[in-house]
Structures are given as C-alpha cells and as structure tokens.
Amino acid sequence: MVIVIMWPVCEDYTMLSNKQIGCLSTRSVDGSIDHGQKYPLVMPSFFQHLSWAPLRWSMKLFCSLKIIGIDNLTSSKPGVIIASNHISELDPMLISCCLPYLSSHLPLYFVSREIDFYKYNQLSFLYGGKFFRSMGAYPAYVGLKNYTQALYHHLRLIDQGRNVVIFPMGKINLENDPTKAKGGVAFLAQETRAPIIPVLIQGIENLSFKAFLSRRRKLTITFGKPISSDDIFMASKDAASGQNRNEYEEASSILMEKIFRLAKSDSGF
C-alpha cells in the first residue's frame, strides 16, 4: 500500500512567535478585519473526507456510535462556532465525521495549542505542525493577555464563513467542572456574533485499544440547539462564581453548563 502525503502550499501563519503575533494588526480601532488573508480549503477538506469513513464506521462497529441532534448544526448557515467538551485526542475528528459526507459545513477548522505545547507528547512529530495545519487546526496564542491577538486566525476564519471547533476547557479534561472553561469561546461569539453549536461527547474517555476491540464502549455525540452570545452573557451576569474571573470566562462557564446538560437530553435543548 502506498501512502501519499500532500502538504498545503500556502503561507505559514501558524508558526508565529508571541512577539510576531503581538505585532499583527488583527483588528483596527474601528473593528474592521483584514479580508485579504485566506486560509487553505482543499487540504483540510481532503484529509477530513479521507478519515470520515474509516473513523465513522469503526466507531459504529466497535463503540456503537450514536449521533444525536446533528440537524442543529446542518440546518445552520456555515460560519458557526462548534463548542465541545474534550475527553480524548479523537474528539476533533469525531465531530467532523458526525456530519454528512457531502455536508457544506466541511471542512471544519479547529482551535489548537501552539507547537511547543506538544513537545513532550509521544506523537509530537505530528502535533502542532504541518499535519495539524493540513487537518485544519490553527493555534491560539497563549500568554498574550489579548483575546483578539490570541485568536487571530479564528476571527478571520469565522469572518470568511468557515466553521470553527473550539474546546472551551482548553485541553483534555474529564471533570465536568464548568468553572474550568477559558474565555476564548465567549469572546469569539461576541466579536463575530456567530451562533454557538454546543456538543457533548460521551463514552470515549480513557479508551484503550483493548477496550475498543471489546465493543463494550458506547459512544454518544450530542449536538444541541444554537446558542447566541447574548444568551451566555446575560446568564453570566446573574451567576456569582466568587472567583476572580473576567466576563468572558464567566460566559464560557455558562456555556459549559449548557453543554454538560446535554447528557440529560436525547435531542439537544
């Protein structure tokens, strides 16, 4: 079997240092966006469609994959924010394989961490670099104390009508603690006014190869009804967490509460 790997021919926007990203004028004072910067479409589409059938059908066969409420996403116009809990490294591709193969919402684009974050991972040679970009993952730049600069790529992707997947918890987290949510998703929603599609993934946490082959796991992915930024910001004003958190983090916590509540519903909100 011959495997051909093709890399996107495009300017590398994902390897910028914090100093470089700090110099970028992501949005001007009047709120305008640089519409000239484009992101590759062909390679993310190619790889997501390539992985669609093997992942979807293997999960159906070995994990009894059940997809609930996918119409909440497919009936929305492209240019949405898909916010999900994060319980395994497969989560990004699991979300993409839930969509119909010829869905106009594919490819999805993902919020990832910078390449240095993965340097101690056993698969660091794959993570954060060309492979991630080929799959549609662009990093959020941490430590800048500026959401606009940190989410430089994702603001533009949504502005260009692309669908962005973000994990508000920031990394794999098996605790259903909404106060652990980061503020980025709420900022994206408020700035772009894009609807948020909440997603809950259940049943694949700590999945070993042995457990996978045993066919005892039950994987359920639930898509809730669209939520507006106003919904989570208004609710956050009434929530007193008692913690030193900004308005975006409070709103993101409200969103995570809504995501966790999908476990009690078979059809979203």
Give the lowest-confidence range in 102-116, 176-190, 234-248.
Answer: 234-248
Mean of pLDDT values over 45-63: 95
Range of the domain at 176: 58-264
Residue 88 has pLDDT above 70, yes or no: yes
Residue 11: C-alpha distances to residues 15, 131, 151, 154, 210 (Å): 10, 15, 18, 16, 41
* Token digits of residue 200: 């809950």
d(CA 98, CA 193): 24
Task: Confirm whether 75 is domain-assigned.
Answer: yes
Residue 31 has pLDDT above 60, yes or no: no
d(CA 128, CA 84): 20
Residue 14 has pLDDT above 90, yes or no: no
Task: Confirm whether 175 is domain-assigned.
Answer: yes
Mean of pLDDT values over 72-86: 96
- Note the pLDDT tens digit of each residue in 224-239: 999 999 999 987 665 5
Q: Backbone phi, then psi, for 138, in 5-degree steps? A: -125, 140
Task: Confirm whether 39 is domain-assigned.
Answer: no
pLDDT at 208: 86
Task: Confirm whether 32 is domain-assigned.
Answer: no
Task: Confirm whether 125 is domain-assigned.
Answer: yes
Q: Between residues 14 and 222, which one has the greater pLDDT?
A: 222
- Number of domain units in the chain: 1
User: Which of 18, 19, 14 lies closest to 37, judged by CA?
Assistant: 14
Task: Confirm whether 34 is domain-assigned.
Answer: no
Mean of pLDDT values over 132-157: 88
Q: Between residues 121 and 158, which one has the greater pLDDT?
A: 158
Amino acid at 38: K
Give the lowest-confidence range in 15-29, 36-50, 69-83.
Answer: 15-29
Task: Confirm whether 41 is domain-assigned.
Answer: no
| Average pLDDT taken over every residue of the chain | 81
Residue 31: C-alpha distances to residues 27, 54, 79 (Å): 5, 43, 18
pLDDT at 132: 73
pLDDT at 28: 37
**Which stretch, 3-7, 21-25, 158-162, has highest mean pLDDT?**
158-162
User: For the chain, what percent of residues have pLDDT higher than 90?
Assistant: 56
Task: Confirm whether 157 is domain-assigned.
Answer: yes
Q: Between residues 125 and 93, which one has the greater pLDDT?
A: 93
Q: Between residues 70 and 144, which one has the greater pLDDT?
A: 70
pLDDT at 27: 40
Mean of pLDDT values over 28-47: 67
pLDDT at 5: 31
User: What angle, rounded to 10 degrees, do the helices at 229-237 and 184-192 form?
Assistant: 120
Whether a cis peptide bond, with omega within 30° of 0, leads into 107 is: yes
